[in-house]
Structure 1
Amino acid sequence: MAAGYHLATGKVPVVYMQNSGEGNIINPLASLLNDKVYAIPMIFIIGWRGEPGIHDEPQHIYQGEVTVKLMEDMDVKTFIIGKETTKDELKAAMEDFLALLKNGKQVAFIVRKGVLENSEKVVYKNDNTMTREEIIQHIVQVTGEDPIVSTTGKASRELFETRVANGQSHQYDFLTVGSMGHSSSIALGVALNKPDRKIWCIDGDGAVLMHMGSMAVIGANAPKNLVHIVINNGAHETVGGMPTVASNMDIVAIAKACGYPNAISVSSFAQLDRVLNEAKSRNELSLIEVKCSIGARADLGRTTTTAIENKENFKGFL
């Protein structure tokens, strides 16, 4: 979009992302924007999660270590903004950047945690009544000892706490703590190689949108033992609740167009329980969209096992 903006206006676009987004831009950065190709100038503002020396989640640690290096390796000059950075220093960096932008280069401001503040409190909500944690509790009740692959963010944290509350083992679940948008592909890989096991994927609308090509690949393979559940609250809730476009999308129609033989949307627990049991007994690929409210418990905990422990336990169980 930013490249298109430049082509249409001749102006320099600005793209804001978390540093996890760096991996997603490597291809267009190298093969579209670079001055050896189309020389499209661009300013990146990158939130620095997992900065070395600052405690963060496991999925952010290595990403944080290579945040600056990735940009430098891609020939993108960087300037780090911290709480001590003055307006004059920022202005001087921008003056330096302007010369590079005029030559079709890209530049990046790396913003340390806690530097930017916004006093306005925005509350995001929708008209759906089911909470995600209760939805996950209903899923767990039906799946029994079937393997579950869950998407990144609060969904995996709520699945973890549901197992704790039930006194169940965590070995049944692979918690995709990072790698947003890829849980359904991981579940497909498991399902194709464990055809005698019913495999469940707990996905989110934001994750589905991020890599929608996965649905086409799943539909083309049509594993009979996979159930793809998309909990749709129309928001990127884990990182603030900003709306996605999924509220206005027909995910069921998309799934059917991709080759899913069974796809349905539900908005009540009675419907959810019925379709979960139907999917469990059905020997065919299924998708269930679950309309969900926005919000989570304020005291929602984080996983107490390491990512490596989670992987080994899940592998051992499979």
Structure 2
Amino acid sequence: MKVEDFVEILGADFYTGVPDSQLKPLCNYLINTYGISEKHVIAANEGNCTALAAGYHLATGKVPVVYMQNSGIGNIINPVASLLNDKVYAIPCIFVVGWRGEPGIYDEPQHIYQGEVTVRLLEDMGIEVFVLSKDTEEKELCDAMTKFSEKLKLGKNIAIVVRKGALSYDAKIEYKNANEMKREEIIRQIVSVTCDDPIVSTTGKASRELFEIREQNGQGHKHDFLTVGSMGHSSSIALGIAMNKLNQKVWCIDGDGAALMHMGAMAVVGSSNQKNMVHIVINNGAHETVGGMPTVASKIDLCKIAKGCGYDNVMCASNVEELDKVLKNAKKSNELCFIEVKAAIGARENLGRPTTTAIENKDAFMEFLKE
């Protein structure tokens, strides 16, 4: 279904969400049509979106749309159950959910279980579901929305779960910034400086690039914990390791979208004063792994935030020379370090995925930590 027809059938004039590769046609359409404005907001996490949508309804009386990957369902459970639900404030909302890990469709390991329980989780929250596929006709969706309109009037929520390839959009959008260093180049330099230190890497292309760099170097993968799912939690994982491995320098490779998603983790890390941890945020101002849609990270000062959270040694790098300097500073430092690295948008088209399983990665990493 063309995304233009999809949006017309929904009939909403406010969208907020966290970008998803399965919903890339919708995300690109919204950026192309509204940009970031009072009609379209890319929020930090899905719970944030849901609360923002509630505020929109309170101010206008209209029904908002929240879009997300199904991995974000966990983030909406609290506001759906304790804010939107018709037994509380009865605030209607249309959720548009990209269905990663759909049973019977091959996907990455972090999506498998989430895909199995997607429809069940939504229905358990009292959200009626319509599944949109490549074969769905406009009339079918129109009929569903006519039926759903009565539920929305009663303050209930509905969800359209979008299968792979169900939406299309012909216009092309190029996402870019003025930064010069590519993320893979940055990670390669991190690997060269960290030597045998453990690394926790964030979800998405950062972990994929780290895996391929190790392959190219012939190093194996025992030094790295690849956080292939659980977006926004890598720094907390790294902190848990650092607190219990005081004689090891623990590095976290984070992304700006992930850091924003659960920014409260920075306050916890900063207040810990964990002197054997280095938190690196590679900031390209984009949700690049799912298509390149913007985050707000290019408009805020992550270093000032880190200082305010209590990180002892806060540094920033925007070119190769600065990166080499700050990494070597962090390597020898006996302080909790934060490094923001300004990065360009873009990755190799032939970038692969880890060839080891998540369990194999975990087991090898734990054995390494015992050494």
CA distance in structure 2 between the aligned counterparts of 1:139 and 1:202, rounded to whole angstroms: 9
Determine the structure 2 residue equivalent to 1:307: 358
CA distance in structure 1 between the aligned counterparts of 2:137 and 2:351, rounded to whole angstroms: 37
Determine the structure 2 residue equivalent to 1:37: 88
Among 84, 91, 96, the residue aligned to 2:142: 91
Which whole-Å deviations, capped at 9, do the CAs of 1:283-311 have from their partners, x for residues lacking one? 11000100000000111111000000000
CA distance in structure 1 between the aligned counterparts of 2:354 and 2:123, rounded to whole angstroms: 33
Residue 10 of structure 1: CA displacement? Answer: 0.5
Task: Give the secondary structure class of the aligned counterpart of 1:66.
Answer: helix
Task: Give the secondary structure class of the aligned counterpart of 1:27.
Answer: helix
Residue 190 of structure 1: CA displacement? Answer: 0.4
Among 155, 160, 168, the residue aligned to 2:211: 160
Task: Give the secondary structure class of the aligned counterpart of 2:236.
Answer: helix
Residue 92 of structure 1: CA displacement? Answer: 1.3
CA distance in structure 2 between the aligned counterparts of 1:242 and 1:256, rounded to whole angstroms: 27
Among 294, 312, 316, the residue aligned to 1:265: 316
Alignment of 1:233-248 (within 5 A): 233-248=284-299
Residue 222 of structure 1: CA displacement? Answer: 1.4
Matched-pair contact (CA < 8 Å) for 2:278–2:338: yes
Alignment of 1:197-212 (within 5 A): 197-212=248-263
* TM-score, normalised relative to structure 1: 0.99
Among 277, 284, 287, the residue aligned to 2:335: 284
* TM-score, normalised relative to structure 2: 0.85
Determine the structure 1 residue equivalent to 2:79: 28
Among 180, 185, 192, the residue aligned to 2:236: 185
Among 143, 162, 165, the residue aligned to 1:111: 162
CA distance in structure 2 between the aligned counterparts of 1:205 and 1:117, rounded to whole angstroms: 28
Q: What one-letter code is carried by the residue in structure 2 that aligns with 1:184?
A: S
Q: What one-letter code is carried by the residue in structure 1 that aligns with 2:221?
A: H
Percent identity between matched residues is 69
After TM superposition, the runs of 4+ consecutive aligned structure 1 residues lying more than 6 A away are none
Residue 81 of structure 1: CA displacement? Answer: 1.0
Determine the structure 1 residue equivalent to 2:202: 151
Structure 1 unaligned spans of 5+: none
Structure 2 unaligned spans of 5+: 1-51
CA distance in structure 1 between the aligned counterparts of 2:263 and 2:182, rounded to whole angstroms: 24
Residue 265 of structure 1: CA displacement? Answer: 1.0
Residue 144 of structure 1: CA displacement? Answer: 0.3
CA distance in structure 2 between the aligned counterparts of 1:6 and 1:181, rounded to whole angstroms: 28
Residue 90 of structure 1: CA displacement? Answer: 1.1
CA distance in structure 2 between the aligned counterparts of 1:248 and 1:15, rounded to whole angstroms: 23
RMSD: 0.7
CA distance in structure 1 between the aligned counterparts of 2:80 and 2:199, rounded to whole angstroms: 35
The question of 1:195 aligning with 2:246 is answered yes
Determine the structure 1 residue equivalent to 2:192: 141
Among 226, 237, 244, the residue aligned to 1:175: 226
Greater alpha carbon shift after TM alignment, 206-215 vs 117-126: 117-126
Residue 83 of structure 1: CA displacement? Answer: 1.5
Q: What one-letter code is carried by the residue in structure 2 that aligns with 1:99?
A: E
Residue 166 of structure 1: CA displacement? Answer: 0.5
Q: What one-letter code is carried by the residue in structure 2 that aligns with 1:25?
A: I
Among 344, 348, 362, the residue aligned to 1:293: 344
Task: Give the secondary structure class of the aligned counterpart of 2:323.
Answer: helix
Residue 89 of structure 1: CA displacement? Answer: 1.4
